[in-house]
Structure formats: structure tokens, C-alpha cells
Structure 1
């Protein structure tokens, strides 16, 4: 109990590991479950059916597990699930899911989510992502692993952003962004590939060149999209770095990709 500030308000039904640290004036509701080694700063609010894993760092004024901003929500016990090793900075807001969606909002492991970011209901965020300040996801958005969202990026509902993709400052993402690709602009358009991100994550020059050729196939060779897609999937059978495109095409939204 020495790790919990005396001014914190914690519902006796909440389940906190004995190693959890809680700062002054933080409020934790009765349906919260918080794993070992997680640290919660002052003035944070954790409510709703929220499950938080181990070794997360949650900064002051974060709001996690509040009801979804969806008029169809009628008090159903939908959830927010957060994995391990995440950094969640000041004034972030993560909402629970809805029964008309997948019933939960999910965040993976080792994500770095900066101040004022928003995750709406039924979003799925992978692992090892970086969300710069004020990046916001509308409902039902899917974000892959190792994605980087530039500051003030806005992602429209139901969009999918593939693994290792990146958005520029103030990008308005209204369609899906394929893996490794970059998106920029108020109405986001393709802007090359995230070659620097690939290098930092250990991809070889040959693998980067293969992804660059995929980008050319989609945007620069004047092919019908279905023909370009078939070509990419065929190459993905022998090139491991392209395997993520198969998953992306299988789970992409009906909005189509940025063009």
C-alpha cells in the first residue's frame, strides 16, 4: 500500500497487483484490472471494464476506459484492453468498445503514445507503434505493428493502416494505408515508402528495394488495382517481407487504399 498515494480513490473491487504505483488524486473504478509493475501518475482516471497489463507507464491526466462517444452505446459492459510495456502520456483518452463493433478497444505492447492522443471505440492498435502528439483515431480503426503516426494525424472511421506505415504531420487519413507506405496531406495521398523506419528495424537494402518496387507497382505502373494486387501476392509467396501485404489485403476496409 505504500506505492499508492493516500489521496488516490480506488474502488475496493478493482484488482491491482501489489507492485502497481498510483499517484495523487488518481481515480480507479471497480472494474479495472492492472498488472504488475504498472505506474499511474497523478490525476489519472481509469474507469469502465479496463484491463491493463504489466510494466505500463501512464502519465498524469490520462483518461482510460471511459464510455464510448457513440450514441448507440446503452451502458453495455464493453472493454478496453491494454497490453504490456506501453507509455501513455498526458491527456490521452482511450474509450471502451461497443456491442455494434468488436466489443472492445485493444492496444498491444510497447507502444509510445504521446500527449493528447485519442483512441475511439473498437479501435485495434498493434505493438511497437509511435503516436505523436494529438494523433486521433475515429471508431473501428485498425493500426498495425511498428506504425508511426505524425503529430495531429486524423484517421477516419473503419480505416486500416498496415505494418511499418507512417503518416506525416497533420495527415488526414480517409482510406487505408498499405504496409510500409507513407501518407501525407490534408486528404492523405501516397508519399513513398517508410525506408528509414525499415532500416531502423533491421530490414536489408534488398528488402527495402523489394518494397519500393511494390510501391511502384501500385502507383507508378498504371496497372488496374486488382492486377497490381495479384502481382504483389504472387511475389509475397517467396519474399517474406511482402507477406504482410497478404494479411493487409485480407483485412483491409471497404474504403480502398490511398491513391
Structure 2
């Protein structure tokens, strides 16, 4: 039997499952099929779940007041199907963050990995796929079907169009509007956002050796600089760079892009001076 602590002012549906050490603060509404892992803390005035959807929350997560997690997708085609939101462990959702469940046409599942920080007023739309160690700063809005890879940081008051992808280790500066895919290991900025530089500081902080940072930097410059086609750039990368797992991932990301890469090949577009 669970020894969860639930404030008497909160309302929970009969289907809700609470693991050990879960704490539910005052004036919360938890409705529908909701499962919450052990050690998770839900502060006051939080809404979890919906009448029709399914919400699964991992261990040691935190939900600040005003968060609305697992609500129905903001999509006119949604007709109350039992789609899902799956959240991993150690995630922190700050004040008034919103995350929607998936849609049948988008795979049926919105997914968030582990160790994420979603600051105040962030919105994650239906069918988004968020990986591990992601930081999304205040006021960022993600349209439906976005894909955010590991170790990405998105600066405040930015917005991502639906179906955009952000590669592993990328950094998007604040107040950016993203309508094309952001390459892995890059810094991007602008309206519309384009690749500005290699995220050298971020890569170093994640433990990349100096030689691998230089290797990744060379690959990024090959794609960004010059007038060659993407396939010609990939050929050059294979010839001039060490084919590490990071470079292989970089090439795979480019080839899988459907919206196109956010590139500005004008002299002002690239900020590195080496």
C-alpha cells in the first residue's frame, strides 16, 4: 500500500496511482488515468491528467504551482482518444508550465526524458519528443511534434514551429524563432534562427576532449561555409574529419532533416573567428 501524502483539499480520480513518498499539496486536481512514481512532489494548485488521456510520471519529479500537465492536445482533430504523456525521472516543471498529451495522428505519445528543467510559462505541445538533460527557459513555446535531443538548452521567450528538430548539445539563444532544424553541437540565434557558431563551451562542459571539439567544429564549418550542396559538404566531412560517433550522428541528423537546416551563409551569419 502506498504511503503517499495527499492534502485533503486536493481532488484525485479513483484511477490515480501514487507510489511511495509521493506528496500532493493543497488544491490540486489529478484526474483520469494518472500514475506517479515515488518521491515526486506536486505543490499546490497543480492540474495533472485529463478525462480521456493517460499520464505516466516517473520518480523524483517536481511540479510547481500552476503547472498543467497532461491536458488534451490543442489540436482540432483530437476527439478524446486515450493518448499519452510519458515523463521520466528527476524532471522539474516550474510555475504555469504546460505539457499536452499526444494525438493519434502523431504517434499518440508526448514523451519527456530524464533530468529536464522546464521553467515558468513554458509550453510543450502534443507529440513532442524531449530527450534527457534538456533545459527550457522561461516563456519558451514548442509547437506540436518538435524533437529536442539530449543536452539542449533553449533560451527564454523563444518559439519553435511544429515539426522542428534540435540536435544534441545545441544551444538556442533567447528570443529566437525557430522554423528549421538546428544542427547538433551548435549555437543558434535570431528571427528566424540560424546557426551562429559551434557550442564549444557547452561541449567542453559536457566532457568533450579538446580534439573532439575541434573535430566537430570543422564539420560544422564545412556545412555552414561555402556554396556547396549538402551532399558535397557531407563528402568533405567524411574526407577531412575524424569519423567519431559524434560526426556520424551529425551526418545522420542532416540527412534525416525534413524541414531543412537553419543556415545563413552570408558573411554576417557565422560568428566564430577561427
| TM-score (norm. length: structure 2) | 0.90
Q: What is the aligned counterpart of 2:12 among 10, 29, 40?
A: 10
Distance across 1 between alignment mates of 2:239 and 2:105 = 36
Q: Which runs of 4+ in 1 moved over 4 A?
A: 233-237
Deviation at 1:250, TM superposition (A): 5.0
Q: Which position in structure 2 is the counterpart of 1:35?
A: 37
Alignment of 1:101-140 (within 5 A): 101-140=106-145
Q: Which position in structure 2 is the counterpart of 1:221?
A: 226
Deviations 1:11-58 (A, max 9, x none): 121111131111100111131011111111100000131100111111
Q: Structure 1 residues 34, 245: closer, same or farther in 2, change over 3 A?
A: same
Alignment of 1:53-132 (within 5 A): 53-132=58-137
Contact 1:21/1:39 (<8 A) preserved: yes
Deviations 1:39-87 (A, max 9, x none): 1110000013110011111111100011000001111111111000111
Contact 1:35/1:55 (<8 A) preserved: yes
Q: Structure 1 residues 233, 149: closer, same or farther in 2, change over 3 A?
A: farther
Q: Unaligned 5+ residue runs, structure 1?
A: none
Deviation at 1:221, TM superposition (A): 3.3
Distance across 1 between alignment mates of 2:241 and 2:70 = 39
Distance across 1 between alignment mates of 2:212 and 2:140 = 29
Distance across 2 between alignment mates of 1:119 and 1:203 = 29
Deviation at 1:234, TM superposition (A): 6.3
Deviations 1:104-155 (A, max 9, x none): 1000000111110000000000000110101110011000000000001111
Distance across 1 between alignment mates of 2:137 and 2:210 = 27
Kindly indicate whether residue 183 of structure 2 is the aligned counterpart of residue 181 of structure 1.
no
Distance across 1 between alignment mates of 2:235 and 2:56 = 40
Contact 1:236/1:246 (<8 A) preserved: no
Q: Which position in structure 1 is the counterpart of 2:22?
A: 20
Q: Structure 1 residues 237, 100: closer, same or farther in 2, change over 3 A?
A: farther
Contact 1:39/1:56 (<8 A) preserved: yes
Q: Which position in structure 1 is the counterpart of 2:267?
A: none
Distance across 2 between alignment mates of 1:125 and 1:236 = 29
Q: What is the aligned counterpart of 1:154 among 152, 159, 165?
A: 159
Deviations 1:229-250 (A, max 9, x none): 2333567773233232144235
Q: Structure 1 residues 134, 233: closer, same or farther in 2, change over 3 A?
A: farther
Contact 1:88/1:114 (<8 A) preserved: yes
Deviations 1:165-220 (A, max 9, x none): 11011110100011001110111111101111111111111111111111210111
Q: Which position in structure 2 is the counterpart of 1:256?
A: 260
Q: Structure 1 residues 214, 19: closer, same or farther in 2, change over 3 A?
A: same
Distance across 2 between alignment mates of 1:198 and 1:143 = 17
| TM-score (norm. length: structure 1) | 0.95
Contact 1:97/1:122 (<8 A) preserved: yes
Contact 1:73/1:98 (<8 A) preserved: yes
Q: Which position in structure 2 is the counterpart of 1:46?
A: 48
